[in-house]
Structure 1
C-alpha cells in the first residue's frame, strides 16, 4: 500500500483519528509560520476558540513539540521536524498534489509547487518558499558550474536568506543580477539578492552596477567596458533564472515611473509586472520599461525558469504574467494565491 492508501484505510475505520492528526498538524503548521505567537492570535487565525486550542497546545507541549514563553508559542526542533514530515505525509491525502496539477494546467506551465498558507497574512510563508527553492535547486542542478540569474524585490530578498551551503556540494554556483537597479532599497536590488544567495550557499556572485533604465545611446558605450560586458555575457548564458512577479501599481512606484508613464500603466489596466514589462489581465503588454539585462522573451532559451510569488493579492498578477511565461516555467506559490486563481477560473 502507498502512504495515501494507508491514510484512506485509517480514515475508513477511524475517521476521528485522521481528523485529530489533521487538526494538530494545522496547529503546528500555523505556529511555524507565525512563531512566536500568542494563543489568542493563533486561535483567531485558525478560527477556533481559545479553550479548544488550549487543550491541543497543552498536549503538543507535553509531547515536546512546542514551547511557550512570554513572547508566545514556538516549535521545538523536534516539532519542526514532525511538522515537515506530517506535511509530506498528508500532502496527497489532503489534495495538495491535485491542487498543484490543476494549477499548472490552468496556467499552462510545466509545474506548480503550492505551499501551505497565505503570504499576505503569514509573512513566514515566504521563508518556506526559500526552503522549497533550496530543495528544488538541489534536485535539478547538475554538478560543476551553473550560472543563476536573479531579479530583485522583497520576496526574493527574503527567499535568499533561506538557501543553504548544501547546494554548493560538487557544484560551482555563480549568481548574477538579471537586471540593473530600479531605484529601490539597496537590500532588495538584484545585486544585493545575488550577494546574499552566494553567501548562504557559499557560491560566487558578480555584480552589475548599471541602472536598468539607462538610455540606449549610453548603453552602447558602456557595454564596451570590460567589467560590464563580462557580466552581461554571463547573464545571457544563464542556466537558471529565478524571478518574482510584481503587482503593476506597486512596481510602477518602485520603478519611479513618471506621471505620464504611470498613467499609461493605469489606463492600460495593468495588473502584473515582470522584467520591466507591464501586462493587463489578459496578458497583453501595456507598457515596457526600457531596460538592460534579461527580457521575458529571453527566458525561452534558458533551461530552468523558476517564478516565485504568493499571497492572494498576487493571484491576478500571477495569472496575467503566466500568459507570457515560457511553458517550462516552474512556479513556487502558496494556497492563498492558488486557490483564488482556481476559484476565479474553474
Structure 2
C-alpha cells in the first residue's frame, strides 16, 4: 500500500487529492445523515455546484443514497470507510507519526485521526469513535471504567456500539458545574447504558476544601465505597484541557489562576494543572482520581485534539501515567514541532 501511495504521489498527485476530497464528503455525510446538499455545502464551506458533482459521483458508485430527508451513506459506503480511513492515514504518513510520538512520549500507543477537530465536527466524532474502539480493545468482564467529563468524552460515550454487561462505569472526578451533558456523572451513565452495564454516581462537586471532603466521606459509607472504586479502576478514559479554559470552567479564583499561570501551567487533566515538560503546579481538591494515582490504574486512555491543545497534551502526558493517546492530525503535528 505504501509503495502504491508513493507512486500515486509521483505519477498522479491529482488522484490522491480527489480521493481525499471524496473521503471527506463521505465522512461528513456519515456523521450528519440524512443531510441535504445545501446544508453539506455550508458545513464544508464549499460551493453547492462542486458538492452536487461529487455526491452525484458517490451516488453512482453506490456509496450514498438520496431520500426526501437528504443523503445517507449506504451499507457499501459504510464498509469502504474503514479502508479509506487507513488509506488517508498512510497517505498523510500518520502511521509513521504515531510510532514516532509513542516513542518520544513513552506511550504504549498513539492513534492519530486525520484532520483538525477544532474546525471540523466530523473529526471530533472520529476522535470519540476511535477512543471508544480503544476502550473496547481493553475491556474484559467485571471491569471498572472511570471516565472524566467534557464535550470530547461525551462523543466517546455516544460512539460506543458494543456490549459488556458486567462493566461498572464511575466518574473519575466530581462535577464542574458545567452543562449536564458534559458532566462526568452523566457521561458515566450514558456509557454504562451503551455497554449494558452498571454505573455509580459521585454527587459532590470539585473544589470543596479537604476538611469538608473528609467530613463528607466519614459520614457517607456509600460515597466512600464509590471513591474506593474510582481509585482502583481497571481503565481510565479522560480528556485534556487548556489550563486557562479549564480554570474558568472550574471557577478558579483569578488570584489563584494568576499564580498557576506564573508557574507556567498550560494543560489540565483530572483537576491538576501541568506545565511543560510535565510538572504539576496546582491541584484542585476533589474526591476522585489525580494524575499521581494513575500508576494504580490498569490502562489510562487520554483523548484530546486540535493544534491549540498541543502544549496541554504534551504537559499532561509528560506528567506520566498515560498509556494510550488518541488525538488528531493537527495536534500531533503541533506536538511534533514542540518536541523538535
Q: TM-score, normalised by structure 1?
A: 0.86
- State the distance in 2 between where 1:72 and 1:306 align: 36
Q: Secondary structure at the match of 1:243?
A: strand
Aligned to 1:122: 120
Aligned to 1:285: 280
- Residue 186 of structure 1 pairs with residue 184 of structure 2: no
Structure 1 gap ranges (5+)? none
Give the C-alpha shift of residue 158 in structure 1. 2.4
Residues 172, 289 of structure 2: 8 Å contact kept: yes
Aligned to 2:260: 265
- State the distance in 2 between where 1:161 and 1:64 align: 28
Equivalenced residues, count: 336
Q: What do residues 301-335 of structure 1 show as CA deviations (whole Å, max 9, x unaligned)?
A: 21100001111221121111111022x52011111
Change (3 A) 1:280 1:298: same
Give the C-alpha shift of residue 231 in structure 1. 0.6
- State the distance in 2 between where 1:200 and 1:324 align: 32
Give the C-alpha shift of residue 266 in structure 1. 2.9
- State the distance in 2 between where 1:230 and 1:5 align: 55
Aligned to 2:147: 150
Q: What do residues 257-302 of structure 1 show as CA deviations (whole Å, max 9, x unaligned)?
A: 1122122123333211111111223333332212221110110121
- Residue 310 of structure 1 pairs with residue 305 of structure 2: yes
Residues 264, 287 of structure 1: 8 Å contact kept: no
Aligned to 2:61: 63
Aligned to 1:211: 205
The more displaced of 276-285 and 226-235 is 276-285
- State the distance in 2 between where 1:13 and 1:264 align: 56
Residues 137, 167 of structure 1: 8 Å contact kept: no
Aligned to 2:190: 196
The more displaced of 85-94 and 334-343 is 85-94
The more displaced of 223-232 and 145-154 is 223-232
- State the distance in 2 between where 1:50 and 1:187 align: 34
- State the distance in 2 between where 1:44 and 1:71 align: 21
- State the distance in 2 between where 1:311 and 1:34 align: 21
Residues 213, 292 of structure 1: 8 Å contact kept: no
Q: Secondary structure at the match of 2:121?
A: coil
Aligned to 1:222: 216
Aligned to 2:86: 88
Aligned to 2:104: 106
Structure 2 gap ranges (5+)? none
Taking only aligned residues, the RMSD between alpha carbons, in angstroms, comes to: 2.8
The more displaced of 332-341 and 238-247 is 332-341
Change (3 A) 1:73 1:335: farther
- State the distance in 1 between where 2:269 and 2:11 align: 50
Change (3 A) 1:315 1:31: farther
Aligned to 1:249: 244
